[in-house]
A and B are shown apart, each in its own frame.
Chain A
Amino acid sequence: MLDLSIAAARAALRAREFSAAELTQAHLAAIAALNPRLNAYITVTPEHAQAQAKAADAALARGEHGALTGIPIAIKDLFCTAGVRTTAASRILDPFVPPYESTVSANLRRDGAVMLGKANLDEFAMGSSNMTSAYGPVANPWSRRGDNRPLVPGGSSGGSAAAVAARIAMGATGTDTGGSIRQPASFCGVAGIKPTYGRCSRWGIVAFASSLDQAGPFARTVEDCAILLGSMAGHDAKDSTSADVPVPDFAAACARGVAGLRIGVPQEYRSDGMAPEIEALWQQGIAWLRDAGAEIVDVSLPHTKYALATYYIVAPAEASSNLARYDGVRFGLRTDGEDLVALYENTRAAGFGAEVRRRIMIGTYVLSAGYYDAYYLRAQKLRALILRDFTEAFRTCDALLTPTAPSAAFGQGEKMDDPVTMYLNDVFTVPANLAGIPGLSVPAGLDGQGLPLGLQILGRPFDEETVFAVGATLERAAGFDARPAVCAGA
């Protein structure tokens, strides 16, 4: 039961082969067994899950079949959930219980999904390893062959990716500001998509960098991601940047195939230091798509090498502004001081972890008087050039194929010596956030140590359908069926 895809579980629930209560109970038992090792969930919500499963069984008995009726999922602990503590993996939100529900999680609930709990993440979604969580690191369910030292699941949505990989959730929500869905998907051997900026409402999601943040799903198949995204997406009057465009049938697009599509291969993603196994997998992906009838074209994205540095101006600038709200006055942690300024300074020093404090300070600096033009304005101009690169490339191709990340999962505690080394994880994923275009990571193979590697498909704005069509084709060709070392189910 735990191994099923969402599509298969949905069919089995509708056929009454098992009940939503049984499916939820099996997941809760698996969480109880595995979460102490993985730390994928910050908060498990068994009472909520059981009540929602019971309601799902009642709906199924009435013949009401929502897109996700009875499907148990994890919600990244960055989405506000009414009456359920929402921490953003930060001490500063430790006592925070939202009185409202984020639009995306409300949409999933509307369609019958069962929330198992709140998934762990890097603090305020700032990180690429889940090591910055105030609730402790997440262990990747995968480990190197013959070596059981714990690896990171990637980040920031590390708990979501680990939960789906270990079969302690059928799907999960994530958010992706610079790669926070796609990189952990690659590290954990699952599929994950960051849709076009504006496809999902950001209302009720704890804000990191508002012009880059976008919600998206994780699942073990591309089709399951399409089913989840279909529920999550849609215009919301409460987020003026959510797009008022129709939500297509993403799941149907998975069966389209790639015959006649032109797939671009950007030469700038071929870095000198790229691991040979990742280069080989990329070439294999190109061959799979060619064999499936796609035409492969070389394209150029000349400003790719500046994307990461651009991101590390834009994202901290927006974060320093967004995180100004955590002042110890209206909600969250308070650490008292002799006056109001001391209260602010003490609260923020005690409540924010080191990486968050660093990014707020970088953001404060690049926005400060005298430095705004040299840093922030220049970064916005670079951002325009990066978008122009993609716009030009999409004149000659329908989608792009790249590796998702420059490496497989690394060990807990590695790459911690200086912040920039960690930032380099996002080199292939950040450009899509800056340009606002959709990106999907699909598990495509294992490296020599038995760790999963993902390939990334990038598409035109609001053309997730082509991205899903390419992703599903790669998935069929790759036939990825390896299982992690720590895994519930058969």
Chain B
Amino acid sequence: MSLDPATVRRIARLARIRVTEEEVPRLQAELNGILGWIEQLNAVDVEGVAPLTGGAQMALKMREDAVTDGGIREAILANAPDRAGDYFAVPKVVE
């Protein structure tokens, strides 16, 4: 399957990346090149194969559900591009 310009724009919107009209043809060609190359996987019969979701070949270790950290508001806000008091600041969302 090949991506059309509308799909490229839709993916960019889903990914929250601004794409200008001039960028669309190049992106379309690159993404189609990658997806076309990936099509080779359709040649493999995967019927009945259980998907492998992770790299860890072991059970994940459980830990106690307890608070182990906190009270570090300034450390958390130190890298904020914009803040208002003890909050992250963003453009107005609700009118």
Q: B64 to nearest A CB, angstroms?
A: 9
Who on chain A is nearest to B63 by CB? A237
Who on chain A is nearest to B26 by CB? A354
Collect the chain A residues with CB atoms within 8 Å of residue B61's CB.
Answer: 235, 240, 244
Task: Report A425-457 residues with CB < 8 Å from chain B CB.
Answer: 433-436
Query: Are the C-beta atoms of B18 and A99 separated by less than 8 Å?
Result: no
Query: Are the C-beta atoms of A240 and B40 separated by less than 8 Å?
Result: no
When A240-B60, A345-B18 are in contact, do A337 and B91 touch as well, CB less than 8 Å? Answer: yes
Task: Decide if B70 is an interface residue (CB 8 Å cutoff).
Answer: no
Query: Are the C-beta atoms of A382 and B57 separated by less than 8 Å?
Result: no
Q: A79 to nearest B CB, angstroms?
A: 17
Bound: A212/B58 CA distance, A: 15
Bound: A264/B38 CA distance, A: 29
Query: Are the C-beta atoms of B91 and A211 separated by less than 8 Å?
Result: no
Chain A proximity mask over B39-79: 1 for CB below 8 Å, otherwise 0: 01110101001111111111011010000000010011011
Query: Are the C-beta atoms of B17 and A352 separated by less than 8 Å?
Result: yes
Query: Are the C-beta atoms of B55 and A436 separated by less than 8 Å?
Result: yes
Q: B90 to nearest A CB, angstroms?
A: 6
Query: Are the C-beta atoms of A418 and B33 separated by less than 8 Å?
Result: yes
Q: A186 to nearest B CB, angstroms?
A: 22
When A240-B63, A340-B90 are in contact, do A436 and B57 touch as well, CB less than 8 Å? Answer: yes
Task: Decide if A291 is an interface residue (CB 8 Å cutoff).
Answer: no
Bound: A344/B91 CA distance, A: 11
Collect the chain B residues with CB atoms within 8 Å of residue A324's CB.
Answer: 16
Collect the chain A residues with CB atoms within 8 Å of residue B38's CB.
Answer: 309, 312-313, 375
Query: Are the C-beta atoms of A361 and B15 separated by less than 8 Å?
Result: yes
Bound: A360/B30 CA distance, A: 13
Task: Decide if B81 is an interface residue (CB 8 Å cutoff).
Answer: yes
Bound: A380/B49 CA distance, A: 9
Collect the chain A residues with CB atoms within 8 Å of residue B11's CB.
Answer: 361, 364-365, 368
Task: Decide if A259 is an interface residue (CB 8 Å cutoff).
Answer: no
When A198-B58, A313-B38 are in contact, do A419 and B30 touch as well, CB less than 8 Å? Answer: yes
Collect the chain B residues with CB atoms within 8 Å of residue A418's CB.
Answer: 30, 33
Chain B proximity mask over A376-387: 1 for CB below 8 Å, otherwise 0: 011111111101
Task: Decide if B6 is an interface residue (CB 8 Å cutoff).
Answer: no
Task: Decide if A197 is an interface residue (CB 8 Å cutoff).
Answer: yes
Q: B53 to nearest A CB, angstroms?
A: 6
Q: Which of the segments A69-77, A274-282, A326-334, A463-471 contacts the partner chain?
A: A326-334
Task: Decide if A480 is an interface residue (CB 8 Å cutoff).
Answer: no
Collect the chain B residues with CB atoms within 8 Å of residue A343's CB.
Answer: 90-91
Query: Are the C-beta atoms of B41 and A306 separated by less than 8 Å?
Result: yes
Who on chain B is nearest to A305 by CB? B40
Who on chain B is nearest to A420 by CB? B37
Bound: A341/B40 CA distance, A: 36
Task: Decide if B93 is an interface residue (CB 8 Å cutoff).
Answer: yes
Task: Decide if A67 is an interface residue (CB 8 Å cutoff).
Answer: no
Task: Decide if B84 is an interface residue (CB 8 Å cutoff).
Answer: no
Query: Are the C-beta atoms of B30 and A241 separated by less than 8 Å?
Result: no
When A212-B55, A346-B18 are in contact, do A384 and B81 touch as well, CB less than 8 Å? Answer: no
Collect the chain B residues with CB atoms within 8 Å of residue A341's CB.
Answer: 16
Q: A280 to nearest B CB, angstroms?
A: 29
Query: Are the C-beta atoms of B79 and A360 separated by less than 8 Å?
Result: no
Task: Decide if A357 is an interface residue (CB 8 Å cutoff).
Answer: yes
Q: B13 to nearest A CB, angstroms?
A: 8
Query: Are the C-beta atoms of A241 and B60 separated by less than 8 Å?
Result: yes
Collect the chain A residues with CB atoms within 8 Å of residue B90's CB.
Answer: 329, 340, 343
Among B31, B41, B80, the residue within 8 A (CB) of A330 is: B80
Query: Are the C-beta atoms of B75 and A99 separated by less than 8 Å?
Result: yes
Query: Are the C-beta atoms of B53 and A211 separated by less than 8 Å?
Result: yes
Collect the chain B residues with CB atoms within 8 Å of residue A378's CB.
Answer: 41-42, 46
When A197-B56, A340-B93, A361-B15 are in contact, do A381 and B80 touch as well, CB less than 8 Å? Answer: no
Query: Are the C-beta atoms of B44 and A306 separated by less than 8 Å?
Result: yes
When A244-B61, A341-B16, A348-B15 are in contact, do A381 and B51 touch as well, CB less than 8 Å? Answer: yes
Query: Are the C-beta atoms of A362 and B31 separated by less than 8 Å?
Result: yes
Task: Report A260-311 residues with CB < 8 Å from chain B CB.
Answer: 303, 306, 309-310
Collect the chain B residues with CB atoms within 8 Å of residue A306's CB.
Answer: 40-41, 44
Task: Report B3-35 residues with CB < 8 Å from chain A CB.
Answer: 3, 7-8, 11-19, 27, 30-31, 33-35
Query: Are the C-beta atoms of B79 and A328 separated by less than 8 Å?
Result: no
Query: Are the C-beta atoms of B56 and A241 separated by less than 8 Å?
Result: yes
Which 8 A-B residue pairings sit nearest by Cβ, starting from the closest? A380-B51, A331-B79, A334-B81, A197-B55, A436-B55, A384-B52, A349-B18, A381-B46
7 CB-based A-B contacts, threshold 8 Å: A235-B61, A312-B34, A340-B91, A342-B18, A358-B30, A381-B49, A418-B30
A binding-site residues for B, Cβ under 8 Å: 95-97, 99-100, 197-198, 211-212, 214, 235, 237, 240-241, 243-244, 303, 306, 309-310, 312-313, 320, 324, 327-334, 336-346, 348-349, 352, 357-358, 360-362, 364-365, 368, 375, 377-385, 387, 418-420, 433-436, 461
Known: A197-B56, A211-B54, A381-B49. 7 other contacts (CB 8 A): A99-B79, A337-B91, A342-B18, A343-B91, A365-B7, A378-B42, A384-B51
